[in-house]
Structure 1
Amino acid sequence: MFYEPSITPHQNTHTLNPNESKHILRVLRKQVGDSIKITNGLGDAFEAKIIAVKSKQCQINIISHFYEKPLPYQLHIGIAPPKSADRFEFFLEKATELGISEISPLICKNSERKRLNFSRCEKIIQSAMKQSLRLYMPKLNPIISFEEFVKIKFDNYTKLIAHCENDKKHPIRDKINQADKFCVLIGPEGDFSLSEIETAINLNFSPISLGNKRLRTETVAITVCQALALLKY
């Protein structure tokens, strides 16, 4: 599967972007007459045939088109990236495979990582989407402070927060069964501060439990993605 964000169902021919063209021609050594599959990350899949190569870019003829409906739920995770870039990239890959809709990196009081290589992150998401044959590209938002994020109006969303304090929490399955649009807060390795937890709860984020064990940041996020994939799909 290849990714071409500008392709639409209304076209008969299209010229692929330089990056995908390079991969098709130099890495996979595809030639004129070969068939390929393409998605625009918006639910559309295309069966196409290479008809020409000009200026190192593939020109294709679209043979057939298929549209896949979105998942029956939407998941937006606000997550404080771990100190290890590898662990955050692992989360991006697995969350994409599991069907996450949107990701917002957060800067919290206890955050150890406050910068991201967005170009690399987007490439990881794109690669995971193609390899898992997903037809929807998750949206990766710019990094934002916790305080700004929790004040966003998430209309019609069930708002949840996963934290490690011994407060009263709802089993995640109970909250998942009640809605189809979710915004979930996941804190840094040092967890949310008490003031952040209080702020979130005052803004109608409900605390949730994922069990009685303490999990890494990226593990919590992947567990949430998997829970929705199993219980809502």
Structure 2
Amino acid sequence: MPSPAARTPFPGLICRSWRSLSTLRAQSSDVAASQARGGLPRFHSPSLPSSKGSVVRVQGDEFWHMTRVLRLGVNDRVELFNGIGGLVEGCIQKVDRTGLDVMALEDLKKIAPQGIQWHVFAAFGTLKRGRADWLIEKCTELGASSVTPLLTERSPTITENRVDRLQRVILAAVKQCQRLHEMTLNPPMKFHSFLPVVAKSKLSFLAAAEATPLINTLSSSSVEPSGLLIVGPEGDFTQEEVKLMIKAGATAVGLGPSRLRVETAAITLLATLMLWSDAQKVKLQ
């Protein structure tokens, strides 16, 4: 089989359509899903061409994925995004051993975040066996703006190497769910440093046992530009921590009669609030 660079000796502006779904490998289910929706394969690039005709170099993992996994080559069309709202359609112009060049077929699009920006604060430092990965992955898919590991009396630490791994989980989930804005994983925050954040927020929900059901609370809640979701560690927050957060302005909400794991509570709370805020946006239109 000829190399990608050898397929077309004269790179040009007119690009081939993306090849059929049957040519993709099993590892590329995220890109396959994009094709099934009628879109181009999308890849992350920190730098994007600013205008039509500009060229950007793609290297590293994305280069490997494009050429080794999907077998893309010269004249194939792709989309590039930078994780902060930038999106551009381009065409592969050159492939060599270290990377490939993509030329923009249009001017750079800049898309602003939509709806309420939800910020998750969860004490998940003690979670094991991939449960923290699952929490971060699902928060990304559901559209959380950020996640901050919360350091509490019962979850006092989170290892640095785990944070590095979670960054990779976020990027993979961003690509899979076609987000244009990456979810931010903030540095761990100590509980007492978190209280001023709660005090400044007009919309803060604290998952707490035996509290008023979340659905009931939302019926009297107003829409704000951003909001906080707060979930405690295994063993829950201490009574003193709950008292301090409520005093700072958090609203305690119940998530049903069952005792939920940290990651289950976080996803339940986020999914409900994302659906609620989306419904509020429709009402305001």
CA contact under 8 A between 2:232 and 2:262: conserved in structure 1? yes
Q: Unaligned 5+ residue runs, structure 1?
A: none
**Counterpart position of 2:12:** none
- 1:47–1:172 distance in 2 versus 1, CA, 3 Å: farther
- 1:210–1:126 distance in 2 versus 1, CA, 3 Å: same
1:133 to 147, 153, 178: 178
What is the CA–CA distance in structure 2 between the aligned matches of 1:154 and 1:48, rounded to whole Å? 45
Q: When the two structures are superposed, what TM-score results if normalisation uses the length of structure 1?
A: 0.89
Q: Does 1:95 align with 2:139?
A: yes
What is the CA–CA distance in structure 2 between the aligned matches of 1:28 and 1:42, rounded to whole Å? 25
What is the CA–CA distance in structure 1 between the aligned matches of 2:104 and 2:199, rounded to whole Å? 38
Q: When the two structures are superposed, what TM-score results if normalisation uses the length of structure 2?
A: 0.74
User: Can you list the C-alpha shifts for 1:30-76, whole angstroms capped at 9, x where unaligned?
Assistant: 11111112211122222111111245111110113444341211100
CA contact under 8 A between 1:9 and 1:44: conserved in structure 2? no
- 1:223–1:177 distance in 2 versus 1, CA, 3 Å: farther
Higher relative contact order (CA 8 A, sep 6+): 1
CA contact under 8 A between 1:159 and 1:183: conserved in structure 2? yes
**Partner amino acid, structure 1, of 2:250:** F
**Counterpart position of 1:51:** 93
**Counterpart position of 1:5:** 46
Please identify which structure carries the higher helix content. Answer: 2
**Counterpart position of 2:206:** 161
**Counterpart position of 1:73:** 116
Identity of aligned residues (%): 28
**Counterpart position of 1:122:** 167
Q: Does 1:205 align with 2:256?
A: no
* Structure with max Cα Rg: 2
CA contact under 8 A between 1:83 and 1:113: conserved in structure 2? no
Match runs of 1:8-27 below 5 Å: 9-10=50-51, 12-27=54-69
Please identify which structure carries the higher strand content. Answer: 1
Tell me by how many angstroms 1:9 deviates: 3.7
Q: Unaligned 5+ residue runs, structure 2?
A: 1-41, 279-285
What is the CA–CA distance in structure 2 between the aligned matches of 1:10 and 1:156, rounded to whole Å? 38
**Partner amino acid, structure 1, of 2:232:** G
- 1:187–1:178 distance in 2 versus 1, CA, 3 Å: same
- 1:8–1:193 distance in 2 versus 1, CA, 3 Å: farther
User: Can you list the C-alpha shifts for 1:198-230, whole angstroms capped at 9, x where unaligned?
Assistant: 111121111112222221111111112211221
Q: Does 1:29 align with 2:74?
A: no
RMSD between aligned residues: 2.3
SS in 2 for 1:114: coil
CA contact under 8 A between 1:18 and 1:57: conserved in structure 2? yes
What is the CA–CA distance in structure 1 between the aligned matches of 2:220 and 2:43, rounded to whole Å? 36
What is the CA–CA distance in structure 2 between the aligned matches of 1:227 and 1:169, rounded to whole Å? 12
SS in 2 for 1:50: strand
- 1:159–1:175 distance in 2 versus 1, CA, 3 Å: farther
